[in-house]
Every structure is written in C-alpha cells, then in structure tokens.
Amino acid sequence: MTATEPMNAPVPSFDDEDEGGRKLVLICSKGSLDMAYPGLVLANAALGEGIETHIFFTFWGFEIINKETMGDLKFVALGNPATHMPNAVMGLPGMTALSTKMMRKQIADLDIPEVPEFLDLIHESGGHLWACRMSADMMKLTEDDLYEGVEGIISATDFMELSQGAQTIFI
C-alpha cells in the first residue's frame, strides 16, 4: 500500500493558504502580571494557527520586555473589584506580594510559562516583537535594556505601516 492511495476519510482543512493574508497586531500597554498574559496567550495561539503576529509594547507594557522587570511583574488586587476582597485589606503592606505569589502559582499550576519563557516561545514561533519609541525615550531605555527578541524600537508612524491590513487588539 502506498501513502497516496485514494481514500474516503475526511481530511482536515488546515487552510494554510487562507491564513496567508491574515495578520494580527497586539498592543500591550499594561505592566501588571495579569495584563501581560492576555497578549502573550493570544499571540502564541495566533502563531500556532499560522497567522503573522506582531506585538507592540508601549508605555507600561515595557515592563513585559524590560530585562529588569520582565521576570518580576506584579498583580495588584487593590481597587480590583473582581478579586472580591475589601480594599482595606488589600491595601495592607505585603498584600501585593501575596496576591502576586498566588497568581503566579495559579499560572504555574496550569503549566503556563513565566513571562520571559513565554516571550522565548513566541519569538521561536516566529512572532515579531516591537517596542515603542516614545516610551523608550521617556523611560530612557535602549534596545540593550530590552528582551533580545525585540526586533526594534519603532515610531508611531512605523507602527502604522506595520499594522496595515492587520487585525489590531489593544490591551
């Protein structure tokens, strides 16, 4: 029997060609642990579907690609009604460290990588990472301060060119 014999089984349509023109741009503008993950998860999923994927990090989103902070993002429960915890308690000293520790554990329990490793995964999957020029200038950061996979620090105009025809999501 050869591998090319006719068969009546359905064959999944992987739509390689259809996805050819699809492009996703994620703008990551927040620097907290809980707001870093949505962009990373979506980028990873898009890459796994063969979609051209770019992440543009701006303002507080720099925390995700700044070598100094990327491994140490925090989750702040204070003022977040979704935690259902009283602010009087969540404002006490040490509560941010505690809630961050708890969230890190929940993420690790699901076998989801920490931020630096997640960036590696996205980078190796062919994702493109970009940093915002104005944010870099404000924070006095250069490419040397940023995760190695970041391809460049680009201007708002560059971003317009980059995102042409893309589905764009602001986080």
Q: Which residues contact 56 (CB under 8 A, 6 or more apart)?
A: 25, 26, 27, 28, 130, 131, 132, 154, 159, 162, 163
CB of 137 to another protein, least distance (A): 33
Picking from 103, 77, 102, the residue whose alpha carbon sits closest to that of residue 90 is: 77
In whole angstroms, what is the distance from residue 144 CA to residue 44 CA? 24
Q: What is the CA radius of gyration of the chain?
A: 20
CB of 15 to another protein, least distance (A): 9
For another protein, which is the closer residue by CB, 40 or 65? Answer: 40
Min separation Cβ 133 and another protein, Å: 29
Shortest Å, Cβ 17 to another protein: 10
- Minimum distance, C-beta of residue 128 to another protein, in the bound complex (Å): 14
The residue (of 10 and 79) whose beta carbon lies closer to another protein is: 10
Between 113 and 135, CB nearer to another protein: 113
Helices 33-48 and 95-109, interaxial angle, to 10°?
20
Indicate the SS3 state at residue 59. helix
Write b or e for each residue in 7-21: b if 16 or more Cβ atoms lie within 10 A of its Cβ, otherwise e. eeeeeeeeeeeeeee
| Closer residue to another protein in complex, CB, 18/68 | 18
CA distance linking residue 56 with residue 64, whole number of Å: 11
Nearer to another protein by Cβ, of 123 and 133: the residue is: 123
Q: For the chain, first and last CA: distance in Å?
A: 52
Question: Interface residues with another protein (CB under 8 A)?
Answer: 1, 3-5, 7-14, 16, 19, 41, 44-45, 48-50, 110-113, 118, 121, 124-126
